[in-house]
Amino acid sequence: MRQLRLAKDAMDRDWADPELDLRAVAAHAGYSRYHFIRAFKETYGETPGQYLTHRRIERAEEMLRTANLSVTEICHLVGFSSVGTFSARFKAWTGLTPSGYRARHVGRGAALIPGCYAMLWAGGFRAGAEQARRSNS
């Protein structure tokens, strides 16, 4: 059980990493990939992939309500590499498309956080800065 909690903590910490690898998380917990999936589902009621998707969708919901970022920017910030997959999973989880969710929830509270601040806070500029640094080398 302790190893499963450590693996779950790793997913909670690194949820935004699109390269988060199930094999590495399972190895961190000391399980084979398939045994890890079974044990995680038995303990938490969902597979590690479902758990990670739900964490990412929850973060996306928050960003859609509070940040002035495009759906594509939010998609990438929460760890999805495909806008289509993000939109499909978001709709399956919330019943709304990301744009529909934003339309329903924005305007009920404080003003949206400017996108540049949200990107800086989420670390969204790191990849672009790293890429620019490499191309200048």
Per-residue pLDDT at 58: 93
Q: Over the chain (137 residues), what is each successive 10-residue block's mean pLDDT? A: 87 83 84 92 93 93 88 92 95 95 75 57 52 44
HEC secondary structure over the chain: CHHHHHHHHHHHHCCCCCCCCHHHHHHHHCCCHHHHHHHHHHHHCCCHHHHHHHHHHHHHHHHHHHEECCHHHHHHHCCCCCHHHHHHHHHHHHCCCHHHHHHHHCCCCCCCEEHHHHHHHHCCCHHHHHHHHHHHC
Per-residue pLDDT at 13: 87
Per-residue pLDDT at 92: 96
pTM for this one? 0.74
Per-residue pLDDT at 135: 44
